[in-house]
Amino acid sequence: MRSGDAPAAAPLHTGLLQDKVLNRQVDTLYGNHRSSTLADVALAWTLCGLFYWRLGDPMVLAWGVVHLLQTLRYPRLAAYHRDPWAAQRARFWAGRHWRHLAVYSACWGLAPWFFLPAHDLPMTAVLMLVMLSLSSAGVPAMAPRLASLAAFVLPMVTGLIGALLWRGAAVHLFLAAFCLPYLAATLYFGWRQHQLLTQALVTGFEREALAERLAQQIVATQQASEQKTRFFAAASHDLRQPMQAIALLGAALETRLAGQAAGDEARQLNRAVRALSASLDVMLDVSRLEAGVIVPQRRPFELDDMLRALNAMFGSAAQQRAIELRIRASGLWVHSDAQLLQRLLANLVDNAIKYTSRGGVLVAARRRGAQVRIEVIDTGIGVAPEHLPRIFDEFYQVDNPGRDRAHGLGIGLAFVKHLSRLLDHPVQVSSRPGRGSRFRVTVPWTPAGYSVAGIDEPASVHVGVHVGALSARVLLLDDEQAIADAARAFFAAGGLRLDVVGDPADARVALDAAQLGGQPYRLLISDLRLAGGGDGLQAAQALLEGRNPQPALLLLTGETAPAQLRRVRDAGVRVLFKPVEPGALLRAVRAALDAQSTTATGVPIP
Ligand code: ADP
């Protein structure tokens, strides 16, 4: 009764599982012991009464006493329920159980030896009936352990068979012969039941273990995702600082060199800077989506406006790759966030062009009931079925083991997935390798209405923006020397008066002095993370408090940690993410100054 306990079909895989099964088996055996002992004593003494009344044989009473004596062992079994280490000593308790049952069953097996009547066939039949019924009635309760089952059935029934054979009359031999197959059948059904029970226990524990592993994996995945977000935030912050300086210096250089021979190199340099900064922006976008900082602004708008913007954005890229970009007007209106939907579609069109070298890309929208299906179809390289389920994962790229930057970062479709969830616009993909791909975005349809502006025009590529009209004083609070120098050069090239301070104390001195001198600053630009981990938002708010006129506030940050972004959003302050494209910086400065002239409060994050 060791390894033989488990059915061959379901081997116990680990010692732990084996122990768990044993514990549960032993627990079940002891679970119904108390009530069955009481019932057994009642049965034994009813039988004694009946036989003593019919036979008047004192041996009946003698057996009754033997039976009573064996019940005195009961407390030894009941001790199981008080054993605090019962689970650890399951094997001991299993042994004690089957040994107890062997004694109990032998006691019943002695009954026919004590008082089987030689010539009273009806009473012989009654005794047989009682003993055989008892042996089979106990099978379900003993089935958890084969040793207990055998100890319960065998001594009782073999005792009965032996006594019948001992009597030796033909009728007794016949009855003994009847008992034998009965015994075999009882043991067989008990064994089958034991197999089923063990199998059920093993399956149950395996499921439990599986669910536990699954829960652990979910926690591990969440932790990995949080770590990734933290890593991103740190990496992108560290990259953004120098990027910002490069972008500003590049723009200043381009303005100064305009019209000279080196102007072309400066323009090329700035193009490369913009490409790099676009990659960082995608990372930042994902962080912002994960942080829940972006809240969709849904409204009805005409899809064709957006499609036209996409055409303008990607027309030249398609031309460069000598493929056709067809954008089919539909006249349909949809209900969505125009800017976010446009960014979602832009990612799909960008990919379609990138992965198509022959044929073309078609963007078309069709109405299906209350939905509009916008499809981006290309005749490009397609995606093999085994990769298809994973292309929306972050950093998953097909066939780019060297992570060639020219193939992208592998984050575009992850961004699409985030946007699709945020907007509740399902995105489906079908693709055939070598034939092309079809990405379908399903958007709620809305009846035609009045158009409201809100579609992004293609980003301006001209960075040498002159700010002649902007002559207001601006104070920059940033401890990064490289950024300070670059910003000074850039703003000076644009004709703007910019002073730079490295910490809040100097900023206060500068603000006070400017105010006393009658030329107060109109704008404070502050880095979000100051030297020594100081908080730029808090510092800037404290610096501006109570000033009249109150300068506008603009935060500049390389931070992408979701918690930080949420905090800034909640403060309702306008923020720009490093590296800020110089043109965008000037536009933001202009907007902040315009807002400052009408109201003293900041403008929320776009
Ligand atoms: P990437 O920056 O590499 O384009 P994405 O997340 O945008 O990253 O796409 C993930 C992968 O999905 C790509 O590396 C590419 O193999 C595949 N893919 C995406 N769009 C297309 C498409 N239109 N045709 C073929 N393959 C595509």
Q: Report the percentage of the chain scoring pLDDT > 90.
A: 39
Q: Given ligand 1 and candidates 285, 347, 355, 435, which is best to mutate, with the most ligand atoms within 8 Å of its CB?
A: 355
Please choose, from the candidates 580, 584, 559, the residue with its C-alpha nearest in 3D space to the C-alpha of residue 569: 559
Beta bridge partners of residue 439, listed in sequence order: 376, 429
Query: How many H helices and E strands in the chain?
Result: 18, 12
Confidence of residue 567 (pLDDT cuts 50, 70, 90): confident
Per mean pLDDT, which range of 182-196, 243-257, 484-498 is the poorest? 484-498
- Whether omega before 579 lies within 30 degrees of 0, making that bond cis, reads yes
Sign of the four-CA dihedral 208, 146, 135, 81: negative
Atom of ligand 1 nearest to the CA of 436: 24
Instruction: State the Cα angle at 247 between 241 and 250, rounded to 5°.
Output: 140
More confidently predicted of 279 and 273: 273
C-alpha 400 to ligand 1 mean position (Å): 10
Ligand 1 site, residue 436, Cβ cutoff 6 A: no
Say whether pLDDT at 561 is over 60: yes
More confidently predicted of 304 and 280: 304
Mean pLDDT of 416-441: 94
Mean pLDDT of 571-594: 77
Q: What is the DSSP letter of 535?
A: B
C-alpha 413 to ligand 1 mean position (Å): 7
Say whether pLDDT at 458 is over 50: no
Mean pLDDT of 418-437: 94
Q: What is the DSSP letter of 529?
A: B
H or E element in which residue 308 lies: helix 303-320
Atom of ligand 1 nearest to the CA of 398: 16
Instruction: State the Cα angle at 555 between 549 and 560, rounded to 5°.
Output: 165
Task: Pick the residue whose CA is nearest to atom 7 on ligand 1.
Answer: 412
CB 495 within 8 A of CB 467: yes
C-alpha 331 to ligand 1 mean position (Å): 29
Q: How far apart (Å, rounded) are the C-alpha atoms in residues 606 and 600? A: 18
Reported as a single tens digit per residue, the pLDDT across 308-333 is 889 888 988 899 999 999 999 889 99
Say whether pLDDT at 536 is over 90: no
Reported as a single tens digit per residue, the pLDDT across 149-205 is 999 999 999 999 999 999 888 999 999 999 999 999 999 999 999 999 999 998 998
Q: Which residues contact 204 (CB under 8 A, 6 or more apart)?
A: none
Ligand 1 site, residue 356, Cβ cutoff 6 A: no
Q: How far apart (Å, rounded) are the C-alpha atoms in residues 594 and 606? A: 16
Residue 159, classed as helix, strand or coil, is helix
Confidence of residue 575 (pLDDT cuts 50, 70, 90): confident
State the chain's mean pLDDT as an integer: 83
Q: How far apart (Å, rounded) are the C-alpha atoms in residues 202 and 207? A: 9
Mean pLDDT of 139-143: 90
Confidence of residue 528 (pLDDT cuts 50, 70, 90): confident
C-alpha 391 to ligand 1 mean position (Å): 7
DSSP strand pairing (371-378 vs 333-336): unpaired
Question: What's the pLDDT at 560?
Answer: 66
Question: What's the pLDDT at 198?
Answer: 92
Burial of 145-157, coded b for 16+ CB within 10 Å and e otherwise, reads bbbbbbbbbbbbb
Mean pLDDT of 520-529: 87
CB 119 within 8 A of CB 132: no
Ligand 1 site, residue 409, Cβ cutoff 6 A: yes
Say whether pLDDT at 288 is over 60: yes
Question: What's the pLDDT at 135?
Answer: 92
Say whether pLDDT at 471 is over 80: no
Atom of ligand 1 nearest to the CA of 380: 24
Question: What's the pLDDT at 177?
Answer: 93
Q: Report the percentage of the chain scoring pLDDT > 70.
A: 85
Ligand 1 site, residue 391, Cβ cutoff 6 A: yes
CB 237 within 8 A of CB 559: yes
**HEC sequence for 570-593:** HHCCEEEECCCCHHHHHHHHHHHH
Beta bridge partners of residue 374, listed in sequence order: 365, 441
Reported as a single tens digit per residue, the pLDDT across 369-397 is 999 999 999 999 999 999 998 999 877 77
DSSP strand pairing (360-368 vs 324-327): parallel
Per-residue CA distances from 98 to 28, 111, 144, 192 (Å):
13, 20, 11, 19
H or E element in which residue 302 lies: strand 299-302
Q: Two tokens at 509?
A: 């001195």
Q: What is the DSSP letter of 81?
A: G
Q: Specify burial of residue 66 (Cβ count, 10 A radius: 0-12, 13-18, 19+).
A: middle
Type of residue found at 419? L
C-alpha 398 to ligand 1 mean position (Å): 7
Confidence of residue 283 (pLDDT cuts 50, 70, 90): low
Q: How far apart (Å, rounded) are the C-alpha atoms in residues 193 and 28? A: 14
Say whether pLDDT at 6 is over 80: no
Atom of ligand 1 nearest to the CA of 415: 6
Mean pLDDT of 571-596: 77
User: What is the distance, to the nearest Å, from the Cα of residue 228 to the centroid of all Cα atoms in its chain?
Assistant: 14
Reported as a single tens digit per residue, the pLDDT across 228-238 is 667 766 666 67
Most confident of 4-8, 359-363, 584-588: 359-363
Confidence of residue 470 (pLDDT cuts 50, 70, 90): very low
